[in-house]
Amino acid sequence: MSSGSEDLSEISCEEDLAEVEDYLHGELDPDRARLLATHLSTCSPCWNRAEFARKLKDIVRVKCRSQTPEHLVVRIKETIRRETIRGPGGTDFL
């Protein structure tokens, strides 16, 4: 990553797009994030790509959130309990 001492003329679309994910995750240093934000605000193709990436990230976050079915939770707990009682090497502790 850069030191943030660059001026805006040194930020290319290629560099911007390569760092969009880091920018969206808040992983860039503040100076670099400001430079990218400025570039995005003045370059509509880059802004569109960044906006697409942001929306896709939000969709994946929402759609991939699921609840484990209760019957599966019960089976897992029963299996853990049986294995705990059985102990290492298959010997019963009880």
pLDDT at 5: 41
E strand segments, 26-88: none
**Structure tokens that stand for 68 in this block:** 């484990």
The length of the chain, given as a count of residues: 94
Would you say 37 and 8 are in contact if contact means Cβ atoms under 8 Å apart? no
pLDDT tens digits, 5-28: 444 445 788 888 889 889 999 999
Q: How many CA atoms lie within 13 A of 29 on its CB side?
A: 7
pLDDT at 28: 93
pLDDT at 16: 81
- Whether residue 52 is predicted with pLDDT greater than 90 in this model: the reply is yes
Torsion angle, alpha carbons of 2, 9, 17, 41, to 10:
110
Would you say 51 and 24 are in contact if contact means Cβ atoms under 8 Å apart? no
Structure confidence at residue 89 as a pLDDT band (50, 70, 90): low
